[in-house]
Amino acid sequence: MSQHEFAEYVEQVFRYHNQIVNELIERSAMGDNEESDELAKEEAHMLEACASLNEFVSQSMAGLDTNFRAKMQLVDAVPECEAATRRVEDLLP
């Protein structure tokens, strides 16, 4: 995967993750708080798995310089975030 392709993949996963987080927020705002234990567990795992991606994008959007180490962590973090997000999406009714 080229650097440009990876950057597009990072953006795609970030947007997908945020879409699912927004769905969770909307469900909560509508009073649909009946979350299964499995969904709650997977949601917590997703938030942890996606933390470095969210931090990286936030720093990037704020115009802060992201170091090489942070960029290299994305190689493992982005696929893990995508997989965790899919597991949460699969558990949504």
| Cβ-based neighbour number of residue 66 at 10 Å | 13
Its pTM stands at 0.85
Q: At what angle do helices 68-91 and 37-49 cross, to 10 degrees?
A: 160
Q: Is the pLDDT of residue 39 over 80?
A: yes
- Supply the DSSP symbol for 2: -
Could you read off the pLDDT of 59-86 as tens digits, one per residue?
887 777 776 777 778 889 999 999 999 9
Question: What is the model's pLDDT at position 31?
Answer: 65
- The whole-number average pLDDT for the span 25-51 is 85
